[in-house]
Amino acid sequence: MGAAIGQSLQMAVGVALSPMPIIAVILLLTTPGARRNGPAFVVGWLAGLAVIGVLVLAVIGPSAHGGPGHPATWVRWLQLTLGVLLLYVSVRQFRGRPEAGAEAPMPGWMRSVEQFGAARSLGVGAFLSGLNVKNLLLAVAAATAIAKTGIPGGQEAVAYAVFAVIGTVTVAAPVVLYVTMGARSERLLARLKSWMSRNNAVIMSVLCLVIGAKLLGDAISVMP
């Protein structure tokens, strides 16, 4: 199981360092229902990752392992495809970065967070983790990396749970700061939001480049 966790660790860090959901949860912590909305967003985020893991492991788990030290041939091609897609996302993010010192424009829904309740916060969290292109690719890649090790189903579930928890740490951190520090956390969270907004595209580009290159390398290294 240790090998499975190690295989998915880089993808977990890639999910965890997603600026947009961190910005979203910080904005939710400025709403009147902050103490409900923030935790609801985190639960939704974790649930979105969990659904992807359940689906991918259920579909590909039994057939991903091709023998000692070798994943099934189709797994190699899947990793190759995911790697290429992540490199494409990396290029798009870098080309779409804002001018130096400027903040990237925020999605329209972020301007209406004051009207969010717990249910909508949960739904947005699930959407950003499960249906965001970058996170979807990383979650599928992580589940595939775990499945190809050939460990039993229960151990697969534990390994993916570790991936999901690591991928949730940075989203949950602002909520923990808010609950433990109260008003004293406002300045810190505002500075974090501003920095993430300015550097969102570059962070995403570098993450996708590094992880995409790793997936390509993993796929090519085991090809005949």
Confidence of residue 223 (pLDDT cuts 50, 70, 90): low
What pLDDT band is residue 120 in, cutting at 50, 70 and 90? Answer: very high
Write down the mean pLDDT value for the chain: 84
Per-residue pLDDT for 41 more than 90?
yes
- Which has more pLDDT, 44 or 197? 44
Q: pLDDT: is 100 or 54 the higher one?
A: 54
pLDDT at residue 65 tops 70: no
Domain that holds residue 46: 2-221
Start-to-end CA distance of the chain, whole Å, equals 26
Cα-to-chain-centroid distance, residue 37: 20
Q: Which residues of 204-218 are buried (b: 16+ CB within 10 A; e: fewer)?
A: bbbbbbebbebbbeb
Instruction: Provide φ and ψ at 90, rounded to 5°.
Output: -60, -45
CA 45 to chain centre: 9
Question: What does the alpha-carbon distance between residue 125 and residue 173 come to, in Å, rounded to a whole number?
Answer: 14
Total tally of structural domains belonging to the chain: 1
CB-based contacts of 199: which residues, under 8 Å, 6+ apart? 19
204: pLDDT strictly greater than 60: yes
The full DSSP string for 15-64 is HHT-HHHHHHHHHHTTSTTHHHHHHHHHHHHHHHHHHHHHHHHHHHGGGS
In whole angstroms, what is the distance from residue 29 CA to residue 68 CA?
49
- Per DSSP, the three-state class of 146 is helix
Unique residue bearing structure tokens 């797994």: 75
Residue 70 confidence (pLDDT): 58
- What span, in angstroms and rounded, lies between the C-alpha atoms of 96 and 89? 10
**Please, are residues 163 and 8 in contact by the beta-carbon 8 Å criterion?**
yes
H-helix or E-strand spanning residue 108? none
Q: How far is CA 80 from CA 85, 89, 211, 212, in A?
A: 9, 14, 12, 9
User: What's residue 40's pLDDT?
Assistant: 95
